[in-house]
Structure 1
Amino acid sequence: MSIRPLFAALAVMALVGCAADPAPNEQLRLTEQALEQAKAVGATTDDVPELKLAEGKFTQAKADMADQSFKDARMQAEQAELDARLAVAKVMTQKSQEQLNVLNTRIARLRKQLGDAQ
């Protein structure tokens, strides 16, 4: 047996092995954690549309898993995770902005009091 047919057979076996996508269980777990984190920081579907998108894509990912469409499930779960992380970032940015506004108001009040005292 020559070397070329052996390499050809190994290449075909490798391609067949790559064709079947494994179940994206780890990605689903990461997505679920990101959704939980978004809710923990105060994101709601009414205030943060990205959370609603994430939940819809996660639901679709679970349906794809049930159909054993693992590639589609992985893509939906990845997109859902990113949407959930964006929801977290938006909520945290909004909270930071609110805290900054409160601090600026206090600073202005202190400056006014100091100005009046002089």
Structure 2
Amino acid sequence: MKTALLVTTILYLVSFLYTAYLLSITLFVHFANKNLGHQDEYFGDVTNTIYLVLTLGFGLFAGIGWYAYRHPNLHAVFKWLVFIPLGLVLAYLIFAIFILIFGAGRWN
């Protein structure tokens, strides 16, 4: 359990760093374009909002995972909370594979 918790926490940390990088690059481009005279809102583009939400989410779960790893005497429900997003991603992948196999190549 401790190894799985550490691996999951590292995956969340890498995802957090990647989405934080994307968020910072879009923020840099936004201010660079503002200096060139472009008048647009930063959160007017949905992609920037998605990057912000994903960065906060991955950071939150990486923090929860690290706290659960460092304190092994926590309640088991708190430790299993770390695996919920990973379980959702795996459930979606299984669903997508199921649709590809039994859908005869049709999505709709």
TM-score (normalised: structure 2): 0.41
State the structure with more CA Rg: 1
* Larger RCO: 1 or 2 (CA < 8 Å, sep 6+): 2
TM-score normalised according to structure 1 size: 0.38
